[in-house]
Amino acid sequence: MQKPDIPDIEGIPLVGLGTWNMFGKECARTIAAAIDMGYRHLDTAQNYRNEKEVGEGVELSGARRDELFITTKVSTYNLEPSALEQSVQESLEKLQTDYIDLLLIHWPTPDMDLEATLSAMFRLMAEGKIRKTGVSNFSPVLFREAISIGPVICNQVEFSPYIKQDDNLAVARDSDLVITAHTPLGKGRACKDPKLQQIGKKNGKTAAQVTLRWLLQHGNVSVIPKSSNMEHLQENFKVFDFKLTGDEMKMISDL
């Protein structure tokens, strides 16, 4: 496994691999190939129904467990404490690991007891089954509430030039926490955007690379683009060797 110098924040590598809608052998092979390229942040979820394949990909890669950062998410139907603890044990078995680096509440629900759910996650931290806790798809108000309960370090939300997260980002900055951007390329829209392509041409980069760089330059942001295309996997990872100007940042924000 290569060991590039990958920046991180709060221990979360700034660029990771999203695995939504990846299944079977393709998922396992993609995970192994990404790790070989230098990825060490892998993102999955109970709802994705591919934790087993992610674990198989890690095993196939031959990487040491302590070289990787694995995130998974608790489904909405497992937020009651006893169900949460049982589901995490199942996730550990599927992922073939003794611990999860980051466990997230996948989605908030109107009837969830946020304090009880997070307290169950904190107990799992104390037992060494998870290293860090966070939330996903939380509004800024709910994110602040979660932070007030205990050591929540991130909120994973959809964040791209077309879906802004200024308020959630402000919450993260106030507490020096992390926003993890899922769907950062707008489901492929960014790759075809003429303005992003123009900025990319100027910098010798693709529109996708420009988009990921724009997100990272906000600070307090990590990104988890999803791809099973080997060329795109390489491109998405190579975003630390250039910097966008202030004018370029504004042009992208204005999209």
- pTM of this prediction? 0.96
Coil, helix or strand at residue 235: helix
- Which stretches does DSSP call E strand in 38-158? 41-43, 69-74, 100-105, 130-136, 152-158
CA-based end-to-end distance of the chain: 38
Catalytic choice (39, 48, 77, 162): 48
User: Is 48 an active-site residue?
Assistant: yes
d(C-alpha 180, C-alpha 222), whole Å: 5
Q: What is the pLDDT along the chain (255 residues), one digit of tens a residue?
A: 445 567 999 899 999 999 999 999 999 999 999 999 999 999 999 999 999 999 999 999 999 999 999 999 999 999 999 999 999 999 999 999 999 999 999 999 999 999 999 999 999 999 999 999 999 999 999 999 999 999 999 999 999 999 999 999 999 999 999 999 999 999 999 999 999 999 999 999 999 999 999 999 999 999 999 999 999 999 998 999 999 999 999 999 999
Rounded Cα–Cα distance for residues 84 and 219 (Å): 32
